[in-house]
Amino acid sequence: MEKPVFLGSGLSPERVSLGQGLFYLACGLWPLFDLRSFEQVTGPKPEGWLVKTVGSLVGVIGATLSLAALRRAVGPEMGLLGVGSAGALAMVDLWYAGWRKRIHPLYLLDAVAELALIGAWGLAFGRPGASERTPRAHRTGRPPSAQ
């Protein structure tokens, strides 16, 4: 029997995927359930619907990364989703909180977190043997639940 993703040692793609997934779920769902407290921390937003739209998308990314980690199906596609979404959010944070100063400076802390996630993905997939790793579904052609 395999250990759960969160047990064991080392920085694996599954652990990075699960960590980013849970972080994105929390951050994405927050404005959906309590926009007022979200704005108290991050500053007022003129378009509540847009905040909720972005939150929904970030939450879906988080759910996808978490599910892939729990199913041990973290391959290059999940790495691309993790790195790509973190990179996109970091660029927005740095541009609008840093350069343009249009959004709350707290978003610069989010940029640091997003850049750390990109680094974690690099370390996880840069480990010896990580490039040969493929999710069980890709090795057998069947989803992990059918094996």
In this prediction, residue 78 carries a pLDDT of: 98
In this prediction, residue 8 carries a pLDDT of: 58
Counted domains in the chain: 1
Is residue 72 one of the residues assigned to a domain? yes
Alpha-carbon distance of 126 to 146, in angstroms, equals 29
Is residue 143 one of the residues assigned to a domain? no
Res. 102: pLDDT tops 60? yes
Is residue 107 one of the residues assigned to a domain? yes
Alpha-carbon distance of 124 to 28, in angstroms, equals 24
Concatenated DSSP letters for 66-135?
Answer: HHHHHTT---HHHHHHHHHHHHHHHHHHIIIIIIS--S-THHHHHHHHHHHHHHHHHHHHHSTTGGG---
Confidence of residue 10 (pLDDT cuts 50, 70, 90): confident
Average pLDDT, the chain: 89
Res. 69: pLDDT tops 70? yes
Confidence of residue 123 (pLDDT cuts 50, 70, 90): very high
In this prediction, residue 127 carries a pLDDT of: 75
Is residue 82 one of the residues assigned to a domain? yes
Is residue 56 one of the residues assigned to a domain? yes
Is residue 41 one of the residues assigned to a domain? yes
Is residue 108 one of the residues assigned to a domain? yes
In this prediction, residue 7 carries a pLDDT of: 59
Over residues 30-44, the pLDDT tens digits come to 999 999 999 999 999
Is residue 69 one of the residues assigned to a domain? yes
Domain range for residue 64?
A: 13-130
